Amino acid sequence: MRLGIDGKKMPEARKWGAVGILERARELGMAGVFFRTVLDMSPSLDLGYLREVRARADALGMYLETGVGKVNPYALPETPEVREVGNGDVLHGFRRMMEVCAAIECRELWVAMANYKTAFVGKYSTDRFRTDVAWHEQLAATEKLLKKLAPIARDLGVHLNIETHEEATTFEIVRLVEAVGPDAIGIVFDSANVLQRTEHPVFAARRVAPYVRQTHIKDALVASGPEGVRYQTRPCGGGSVDFAAILPLLTAHNPDLNLSIENDMSHDDRPRTPVKMRIDIHDSEWSAAHPDLSPEEFDAFLALVKEGDRRVATGEVPDFETFAERRPGYAETIEDILDTARHIRRICKDFSLPLKDAPSAGCELTTASHDR
């Protein structure tokens, strides 16, 4: 395994471009960068430039991962760039992206089903609860599109890996992989998103581990709230995700898996009002919308909520309001990344997991921006 970072969330990412992000990630001690889509590296799919990015990653001894976007046809209008790069043809747009990814030896490709709606709190923040199109219809449409993309993936020798995003359960994603074929479809395991579907991260990891080919390493704290369960992303080690249990599960199936940190974006890069995230477990529609979830796993999830309550009450971790008001800028975001990296490296060392990057590497880039 190697420990890297999500390139889109790197502080000042828009300022530096893909090559600059690689260089600054290396200075932080990262062993690679996961660019969410290939369009984040080059909106025009300039193969010459993408080869420069590949060459720089190789020269730095870093992994380079990327993706191609949303594969739920009902969510595609929210990502018009896919259709644009296909000159109006969505399938051609996907093919073009997949071809340039294969050309630069990026063969594990992130996809997801929908976007999180930060403007809404609770169930309507995800497309799972859309009222204009049922979730089962979205799943069926996603499967149909993936079956059209799978032959292209097989021909190019790439995998389309579905993220365990906020709207989908791991049960559903595993079924999609098995329906389309694991020779073309895999999973990006986001270690914290599963909490939003009231799944326990360790239970979820067991389900998806055979198919996991990419990761988003992320933590979140869950605790009781007045209208449901509160959810807030935190640096790894400060939330409810047990990485000491999860990482060995993933490594057992894929010892060469890259671990890509997904931190919160710096408020210097994207000023915003703190997002309140709520899991509506008391809503009458909630249980019906999660038919695969066992009582045993739901009880284990509620135990995490209870433990979150205890940690907040004792002051072991900051409460939700205090943490939200941090509004981390450049320096604080760098420290959050380094804290997460230290936590993951410590676990890998304690459990003798095969993490290839040296814990002492890099860290020249700390709390002061380069050329600000």
Of residues 244, 71, 36, the one with CA closest to residue 152 = 71
pLDDT at res. 148: 98
Does residue 343 fall inside a structural domain? yes
Does residue 360 fall inside a structural domain? no
Question: What is the secondary structure of 166-230 as a DSSP string?
Answer: TTS-HHHHHHHHHHH-TTTEEEEEETTGGGGGT--HHHHHHHHGGGEEEEEB-EEEEEE-SSSEE
Does residue 358 fall inside a structural domain? no
pLDDT beyond 90 at 372: no
pLDDT at res. 357: 67
pLDDT confidence of 364, banded at 50, 70, 90?
very low
**In this predicted model, what pLDDT tens digit does every residue of 15-64 receive, in sequence order?**
999 999 999 999 999 999 999 999 999 999 999 999 999 999 999 999 99
Q: How many domains does the chain have?
A: 1
pLDDT beyond 80 at 360: no
pLDDT confidence of 182, banded at 50, 70, 90?
very high
CA atoms of 204 and 143, how far apart (whole Å): 21
Does residue 214 fall inside a structural domain? yes
pLDDT at res. 275: 84
Does residue 207 fall inside a structural domain? yes
pLDDT at res. 368: 43
Does residue 357 fall inside a structural domain? no
pLDDT confidence of 136, banded at 50, 70, 90?
very high
**In this predicted model, what pLDDT tens digit does every residue of 210-232 receive, in sequence order?**
999 999 999 999 999 989 999 99
- In this prediction the pTM is 0.95
CA atoms of 369 and 162, how far apart (whole Å): 34
Q: What's the DSSP call for residue 316?
A: S
**In this predicted model, what pLDDT tens digit does every residue of 91-130 receive, in sequence order?**
999 999 999 999 999 999 999 999 999 999 999 999 999 9
Tokens of 352: 């003798």
CATH of the domain at 220: 3.20.20.150
Beta strand ranges found along the chain (DSSP E): 2-6, 32-34, 63-70, 108-112, 159-163, 185-190, 212-216, 219-224, 229-234, 258-261, 277-279
**In this predicted model, what pLDDT tens digit does every residue of 267-277 receive, in sequence order?**
999 999 888 99
Does residue 67 fall inside a structural domain? yes
Quote the domain boundaries for residue 181. Answer: 2-350
CA atoms of 122 and 114, how far apart (whole Å): 16
SS3 readout for 275-299: CCEEECCCCCCCHHHCCCCCHHHHH
By the 8 A CB rule, do 11 and 30 touch?
A: no
pLDDT beyond 60 at 336: yes
Does residue 333 fall inside a structural domain? yes
